Amino acid sequence: MLVGMAVLLLALQAQPPVVTPPTDSTAVAVRAAAPPEIDGRDDDPVWRAAPPITGFREWRPTEDKAPRFRTEAKIAYDAANLYVLVRAFDPHPDSIIKILERRDTFTASDMVWLFVDSYHDRRTGYEFGVNAAGVKMDQAIYDDGREDGAWDAVWDVATRVDSSGWVAEYRIPLSQLRYSTQRTHTFGITIDRDIYRYAERVSWPVIRQSRTGFVSQFGTVTGLDDLEAPRRLEATPYVVTRQAPRIVANRYASRANADVGGDFKYRVASNLTLDGTINPDFGQVEADPAVLNLSAYESFFDERRPFFVAGRGLFRFDVNCSAVNCSSEGLYYSRRIGRTPQLAGVYGDTVPQQPTTILGAAKLLGRFPRGLTIGVLDAVTQRASSPGDTTYEPRTNFTVARVQQDLRHGASALGAIVTAVNRGADRWVSPYLASGAYAVAVDGRHRFLRDQYEVGGSLDRSEVRGSRTAVASLQTSAVHYYQRPDADLPLDTTRTSLGGDAEEVRFGKVGGQHLMFETSYQRRSPGFEVNDLGYLRRADQASWNNWVGYFDRHQRRLYNSLQWNNNWWQYWTAAGLPLEAAYNTNFHVTFRNNWGWHMGGTVGQLGATYDDRAARGGPAVRQDAYLAPWLFMNGDDRKSVVPSMSVNYFRGSGGRHTSWNLSPQLNYKMLGRFSAALSLGYSRNVDDAQWFGNFTDSAGVAHYTFAHLDQTTRSATVRLNYTFAPSVSLQVYAQPFISKGTYTDVRQLSATPRAASYASRFAPYGDASVTADPGGFDFKQLQSNVVFRWEYRPGSTLFAVWNQGRQGNTPMDGNGPADAGGDLRDLFRLRPANVFLVKVSYYLTR
């Protein structure tokens, strides 16, 4: 009997383990006895043993439809790696679209996406995408669906097209993921396939657009046992040589220098990571687009520097953002860190300034088992000064800390944020910049009724401290305009601090097949100020915003998808002065041939509304209704030549203010590795009431002047890309920008700027030195760069970069060229500022 039992036990041990077959949303990973060779083939022993996942369903354009082509996936692992093989069957492999591009560039190609929620918190995760040509893309996911495109991991993938279709074979080092320290692990995983020529996407498990959230829909993969502890330290030191222009003794010269720095990542714990950078260099980052800003508000530029882009979603805290309008305002705007010196112009330096040196920055990011997420960022910038030791930018410390607690498996959440800016204020800095600026805020949201409805809100508080002159300057800045004579705001030139608050509450339907909506109320007090580390266009405003959207996500006879939005919004000052009342509707459809048609329009300034920023600190001015229709259409991006066209029109003040903008674009792809894009812009703006300047006469009386402006702007954006291999690419970017305007008919605000009659709002201005020859402007700028990029080993990169900039702004005297060709010749006659650099980084891990 005992011998028989022993034989039976030996026989059972000799049998391969029983693997549960995958279901529509669950699967089991197979442990690999030997790692597969990452070559895009499915002939390794582990792939023969792993059970296939076959339950793929179409999710776009039609949700939960049977797929056109079969797709299979297999999942395996060992102590150090996650392996995934996806077999994309296709009866016409010669029709598979594959385009070479540099890493992290979206291509109009057949693709496979692997989504991994390794911590299995159903809120955060990672994306690993590859197209049929082997071009890799990766992103981090936070807040159950928001993406962070700057996240880069070190991983391998190989693709191969064969007679059955194509294959994508992944090796994801577990060191690039976060997971718990338990012996047994469960990952959330979704596999998504894009069949590009049919504009169809299929996934396992099926992604439902009608549901809220994305990571929370991932499938479940078990069987991941005895994973090794992730490597604790990754470092990427770099060395860069640079040749850049400078001015010495009023003459142009060139200076060459070399520098070193680097990035590092240290795993404090399995769920806590410290990312840092020392003396970072961002010379390979594309320059900001040219812009000529004639408004009272600061221009916003998106963040492009990799260290600050990566993980920025964890620090996001919006202000004045709704489903109707969202203008990037928030408590954290990373472009404040390392900005160009703020006081160079104050002290008369006309030399083009380089960004302030960032001595170092670090981010502590963590996600804990019970749904707690933390993010802490600290950065220190170097003091910038003139040769005479005048401070242009003080040494500054920036800190932001964000914490969020998920409740009810992410259906509800509470959060808080704290920001702080501390400057080394000396006698040069104190009159102009705050010594300290602080903000604290809390937010929360709650979803209910099958998570289809959501209520949320936030409460913010800010305080800025500095000298009397610095705080007085802040009160009279365009954000606040405390000096407005009809605002009844407490302008106090003896103050040494300024504080304010902001509130928001919103309610909406965030899920469903067809109908969604949101209504929200936001308010910012006159003293609310966060621009030392955040971005705020203006304080002293309340708004009510309403949006209703209708969606059809099912493929129909004429279209693949359709969306129709309707919006209504109203703005007031905190004291109740109406600033805006407007209705907008817009319509979006993607046809069966993959062309897109998008159109809409706004009817605004309905009823009696006023502009309290038009006079730049003067009284509010009555506004007249306006009409602003627009149209955008785009071609089928599966083709080699893809056209698009944007047209915008504005008519207000009874026809006294009109503008229109025309922006055609052409994208061209050739040989699967070369692409080009040409975008042209032409706009004409005629405004009879453009602010001209504020003047004070000998009696101390302020005069707020306006003029008739006739402005023409021309621009072009050229992009050329050639990809030698997925790891070797050459990019060329150039943007010439020319804007010319002429002022006439200068006049001042009358004693009745709120009059219903347009003519009654203005009066003649008697100073002939201003009105006789108001002149104009002739602004020209060229931004260009050429970037050669070679990822010579995973995580290690060589950049060779040439940046060129030209800029000039001269008074418009009527003697310049009137044609576009002459303007362009004048632009290229401007003295160029050339920067050449070579940067080499090397990836290390232990």
Q: How far apart are CA 781 and CA 806, in angstroms?
A: 5
pLDDT of residue 392: 92
Q: Which residues, in sequence order, are bridge partners of residue 740?
A: 712, 778
CA 194 to centroid of chain Cα atoms: 24
- The 3-state secondary structure of 398-431, one letter per residue: EEEEEEEEEEHHHCEEEEEEEEEEEECCCCCCCC
Residue 391 identity (one-letter amino acid): T
Residue whose C-alpha is closest to residue 282's, from 343, 335, 220: 335
- The proportion of the chain whose per-residue pLDDT surpasses 70, expressed as a percent, equals 95
Q: Residue 39 in contact with residue 158, Cβ under 8 Å? A: yes
Q: How far apart are CA 374 and CA 615, in angstroms?
A: 43
Q: What is the mean pLDDT of residues 192-210?
A: 95
User: Six-digit token pair at 775?
Assistant: 């002149």
Q: Residue 449 in contact with residue 509, Cβ under 8 Å? A: no
Q: Is the pTM of this model over 0.85?
A: yes
Using 50, 70 and 90 to split pLDDT, how confident is the model at 133? very high
Using 50, 70 and 90 to split pLDDT, how confident is the model at 326? confident
pLDDT of residue 249: 53
- Give pLDDT tens digits for 790-805: 999 988 999 999 999 9
pLDDT above 50 for 6 = no
pLDDT of residue 310: 84
Q: Residue 186 in contact with residue 120, Cβ under 8 Å? A: yes
- Give pLDDT tens digits for 373-407: 999 999 999 999 887 889 999 999 999 999 999 99
pLDDT of residue 19: 57
- Give pLDDT tens digits for 627-685: 999 999 999 999 999 999 999 999 999 999 999 999 999 999 988 899 999 999 999 99
Q: What is the mean pLDDT of residues 136-164?
A: 91
pLDDT above 50 for 473 = yes
pLDDT above 60 for 79 = yes
Helix, strand, coil tally for the chain in percent (to 5): 10, 50, 40
pLDDT above 90 for 846 = no
pLDDT of residue 178: 84
pLDDT of residue 252: 64
- Give pLDDT tens digits for 770-789: 999 999 999 999 999 999 99
Q: Which residues, in sequence order, are bridge partners of residue 162?
A: 165
Those residues whose C-beta lies under 8 Å from the C-beta of residue 274, and which sit 6 or more positions away, are 265, 266, 267, 268, 362, 363, 364, 365
Using 50, 70 and 90 to split pLDDT, how confident is the model at 351? low
pLDDT above 50 for 16 = no
Residue 266 identity (one-letter amino acid): Y
pLDDT of residue 349: 67
Domain ranges (residues) in the chain: 17-225
User: Six-digit token pair at 51?
Assistant: 């059970």
Residue 305 identity (one-letter amino acid): R
Q: How far apart are CA 295 and CA 636, in angstroms?
A: 37
Q: Residue 772 in contact with residue 765, Cβ under 8 Å? A: no
- Give pLDDT tens digits for 717-734: 999 999 999 899 999 999
Those residues whose C-beta lies under 8 Å from the C-beta of residue 249, and which sit 6 or more positions away, are none
pLDDT above 50 for 760 = yes
Q: Residue 510 in contact with residue 516, Cβ under 8 Å? A: yes
CA distances from 127 to 141, 492, 814 (A): 7, 53, 55
Q: Residue 341 in contact with residue 392, Cβ under 8 Å? A: yes
Q: How far apart are CA 190 and CA 57, in angstroms?
A: 12
Q: In degrees rounded to 5, what are phi and psi of residue 24?
A: -65, -15
Q: Residue 455 in contact with residue 463, Cβ under 8 Å? A: no
Mean of the per-residue pLDDT values for the chain? 92
Those residues whose C-beta lies under 8 Å from the C-beta of residue 583, and which sit 6 or more positions away, are 566, 567, 568, 602, 603, 604, 606
Q: What is the mean pLDDT of residues 410-415?
A: 93
pLDDT above 60 for 552 = yes
Using 50, 70 and 90 to split pLDDT, how confident is the model at 8? very low
CA distances from 573 to 352, 522, 580 (A): 38, 11, 10
Residue whose C-alpha is closest to residue 553's, from 562, 565, 541: 562
- The 3-state secondary structure of 568-636, one letter per residue: EEEEECCCCCEEEEEEEEEEEEEECCCCEEEEEEEEECCCCEEECCCCCCCCCEEECCEEEEEEEEECC
Q: What is the mean pLDDT of residues 492-507?
A: 97
Q: How far apart are CA 261 and CA 280, in angstroms?
A: 6
Q: Which residues, in sequence order, are bridge partners of residue 239?
A: 260, 840
Using 50, 70 and 90 to split pLDDT, how confident is the model at 454? very high
Architecture category of domain 17-225 in CATH: Sandwich (2.60)
pLDDT of residue 228: 85
Residue whose C-alpha is closest to residue 749's, from 597, 838, 618: 618
Q: Residue 596 in contact with residue 625, Cβ under 8 Å? A: no
pLDDT of residue 197: 94
Beta strands of 78-173 (E only): which ranges? 81-89, 111-117, 125-131, 136-142, 146-148, 156-162, 165-173
The residue with tokens 């953002």 is: 321
Those residues whose C-beta lies under 8 Å from the C-beta of residue 387, and which sit 6 or more positions away, are none
User: Six-digit token pair at 279?
Assistant: 């003396």
pLDDT above 90 for 455 = yes
CB count in 10 Å sphere of residue 393: 25
Q: How far apart are CA 67 and CA 70, in angstroms?
A: 7
pLDDT above 50 for 262 = yes
3-state secondary structure of 492: coil
Using 50, 70 and 90 to split pLDDT, how confident is the model at 14? very low
